[in-house]
């Protein structure tokens, strides 16, 4: 990468446009439809899909770094280490441990139920809403989306209004290679909003989980 980070200038106004309530509803509908298919995938299939997505992303790593640099002004070396390399560590941990983390867990039971079995079973919740800041526009949404997706949920992403292009690149150019390449476009949807509080409220009101 050869960008001169000293030449970067912060925009005076957020580059994102308002997202209408109807668009939020449409994005949520896509996420719910995709989640119905995605939850039927086995844990092994989800793991492999996310690993394929990462390999595809690495084919144009330079383009992703350029977009993050343009939006945040971070030096490319910092983006490499603090965003992409850190994201890979998260991906490796959760994909390597997904089966262990999601398996049934035996729980204690009173003696009167000695002939019964008691356990905790993890099931998908539905759509997880992720609201993220501008300073780590790739790492935070990626890191939060990975465990949610591995657990069989869909993700509705509301990126910062200052860094929408990073989210757009991730959700339009690169797609999870499953269900005829529809899973990433529907299971991880993005919202653009310059009114932060209004957008957060819209995501929170219509998702089963919210990760601020």
Lateral strand order in the sheet of 127-131: 188-190, 154-158, 127-131, 209-211
Lowest mean pLDDT: which of 14-28, 104-118, 126-140?
Answer: 14-28
pTM of this structure = 0.77
Q: Is the pLDDT of residue 1 over 50?
A: no
pLDDT in tens, 158-194: 888 888 888 777 555 555 433 323 333 334 555 544 3
More confident residue, 201 or 120: 120
Residue 46 has pLDDT above 70, yes or no: yes
Is residue 116 over pLDDT 80?
yes
pLDDT at 2: 47
Instruction: Tell me if 194 sits within 8 A of 158, measured CB to CB.
Output: no
Averaged pLDDT for residues 144-170: 86
b/e string for 13-41 if b means 16 or more Cβ within 10 A? ebebeebeeeebeebbebbbebbeebbeb
pLDDT of residue 94: 97
Q: How confident is the model at residue 20 (pLDDT cuts 50, 70, 90)?
A: confident
Contact 59, 169 (CB under 8 A): no
- Of 43-52, 91-100, 123-132, 166-175, which gets the smallest average pLDDT? 166-175
Percent of the chain with pLDDT over 70: 71
pLDDT of residue 95: 97
108 CB neighbour count, 10 Å cutoff:
6
Q: Residue 87 — very low, low, confident or very high, per pLDDT cuts 50/70/90?
A: very high
The reported pLDDT for the residue numbered 172 is 53
What is the average per-residue pLDDT within 1-19?
A: 59
Residue 115: pLDDT above 80?
yes
Task: Please report the pLDDT score of residue 27 as a whole number.
Answer: 81
Inter-residue contact 55 to 155 (CB < 8 Å): no
Return all residues near 202 (Cβ < 8 A) that are at least 6 apart. 19, 21, 24, 191, 193
pLDDT of residue 159: 85
Task: Give residue-wise pLDDT tens across range 66-85.
Answer: 999 999 999 999 999 999 99
Compute the Cα dihedral for 130, 208, 188, 44 and give only its sign. positive
């Amino acid at each position: 990468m050869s960008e001169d980070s000293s030449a970067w200038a912060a925009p005076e106004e957020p580059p994102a446009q308002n997202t209408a309530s109807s668009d939020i509803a449409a994005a949520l509908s896509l996420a719910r439809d995709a989640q119905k298919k995605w939850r039927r995938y086995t844990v092994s299939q989800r793991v492999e899909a996310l690993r394929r997505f990462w390999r595809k992303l690495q084919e144009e790593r330079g383009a992703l770094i350029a977009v993050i640099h343009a939006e945040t002004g971070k030096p490319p070396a910092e983006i490499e280490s603090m965003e992409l390399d850190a994201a890979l560590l998260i991906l490796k941990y959760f994909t390597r441990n997904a089966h262990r983390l999601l398996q049934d867990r035996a729980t204690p039971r009173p003696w009167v139920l000695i002939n019964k079995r008691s356990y905790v079973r993890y099931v998908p919740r539905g759509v997880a809403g992720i609201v993220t800041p501008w300073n780590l526009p790739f790492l935070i949404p990626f890191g939060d989306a990975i465990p949610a997706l591995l657990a069989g949920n869909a993700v509705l992403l509301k990126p910062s209004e200052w860094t929408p292009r990073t989210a757009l690149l991730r959700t339009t150019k690169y797609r999870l290679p499953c269900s005829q390449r529809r899973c990433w476009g529907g299971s991880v949807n993005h919202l653009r909003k310059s009114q932060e509080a209004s957008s957060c409220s819209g995501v929170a009101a219509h998702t089963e989980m919210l990760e601020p």
